[in-house]
Amino acid sequence: MTASDRTNDSEAPAKDSDPAAAQAPRVSPDPAERGRLLDGDVATASGAQSDPASEASGPTPSGPPEGSLGSASAPLPPAFWFIFDWRLLASLAVIGLTAAISCDVVNAKAQAAADRLMGHSVAVPNAADWTPGSTHTIELTLVTKDADRLACADDRTFGDLRCQYNKERRRFPRDGTGPLDDNDIHIIAPYRTATGNVLVMVAGLWATPDLAMRRHMEPARGRADKDLARFIARCDLQFVDRIDGVQVRWDFKNQWYTENVAPMARALSCAILEEH
């Protein structure tokens, strides 16, 4: 065997190792495709080369410039809409209004307490101004036992208002149409002003919310006067008439006596100012 024969024998297996590749014809790329390939290679090669100036200046930021809010069509962040949500604004308005009203009430009570502490006397009310149909703010001195022990006796009625007892000092029977306990909203009783000790007949005093709660929180039944705290209530009273010749009682064991004339009012609202 010659050297050329050995060379042919060694090359033969390599040609037969991939029959599919040997049988598949070679297809030349389309000229346009060849151009695209060449352009891609060139772009890849140029992109692989770094620009010293670019490397020195650092990476190019991908977002908008600092301080910019972006394009005009970009949506606002959710937090912005949450801040200006109408429900939040309405809630803040209600909270602000409630706080303002509460502050006014607290300030009024604090001012009244401060005036008394500093010795600033409250003007003595003038009963001549308490004409029927007028409304006045009056301060009364009270203990919770007054709700039961203060009473008047008279046969007359004044609209839906009357005394608890008739002129024979017998309790009027209930008419059965109202609630069993209405805090005597229609019952007249005698009271004294905190300044001047002026007599005024008032109906429905203990039916006002603040005094009804005070009576509930400090029940007087079975307790001595010294165990009850005396307090001042500032009340808005609507005067309805004047009553003359009415019998009044200031305690359960006290005798009845007759008042010549006394202004009579209906309690509209009351606020407890202080204890003393």
Domain extent for 270: 132-275
Q: Is 71 a member of any domain?
A: no
pLDDT of residue 70: 47
User: What are the angstrom distances between the C-alpha of 257 and each of 93, 163, 233, 250?
Assistant: 55, 14, 26, 10
Average pLDDT over residues 59-82: 51
Per the prediction, the chain carries an average pLDDT of 74
Cα dihedral value 259, 265, 267, 270, nearest 10: -70
Chain-centroid distance of CA 205 in Å reads 28
- Residues in CB range of 108: below 8 A, 6 or more apart: 234, 271
Is the model's pLDDT at 104 over the cut of 80? no
Determine, yes or no, domain membership for 6: no
Residue 240 placed within a domain: yes
Whether 119 shows a pLDDT value over 50: the answer reads no
Whether residue 27 is predicted with pLDDT greater than 70 in this model: the reply is no
Task: Report the percentage of the chain scoring pLDDT > 70.
Answer: 55
Cα atoms found within 13 Å of the Cα of residue 70, Cβ hemisphere only: 7
Question: For the whole model, what pTM was predicted?
Answer: 0.57
Measured between alpha carbons, how far apart are the two ends of the chain, in Å?
A: 139
Q: What is the pLDDT of residues 151-186, one digit of tens each?
A: 999 999 999 999 999 999 999 987 767 666 778 899
Identify whether 154 is part of a domain: yes
Cα distances (angstroms) measured from residue 36 to each of 26, 28, 30: 20, 14, 10
Does a structural domain hold residue 226? yes
Which segment of 23-27, 224-228, 268-272 scores lowest on mean pLDDT?
Answer: 23-27
- pLDDT higher than threshold 60 for residue 133: yes
Q: Which residues make beta-bridge pairs with 257?
A: 248
Structure-block tokens of residue 64? 């908008």
Q: Tens digit of pLDDT for each residue in 206-245?
A: 999 999 999 999 998 888 888 899 999 999 999 999 999 9
Residue 29 token pair: 């790329």
144 CB burial (10 A radius; 0-12, 13-18, 19+): buried
Q: Which one-letter amino acid corresponds to residue 160?
A: D
Which percentage of the chain shows pLDDT scores above 90?
A: 45
Q: Does residue 136 belong to any structural domain of this protein?
A: yes
45-67, pLDDT tens digit by residue? 444 444 544 444 445 555 555 54
Evaluate whether residue 244 is within a structural domain: yes
Total domains in the chain come to 1
User: What is the reported pLDDT for 173?
Assistant: 86
The answer to the question of residue 112 being in a domain is no
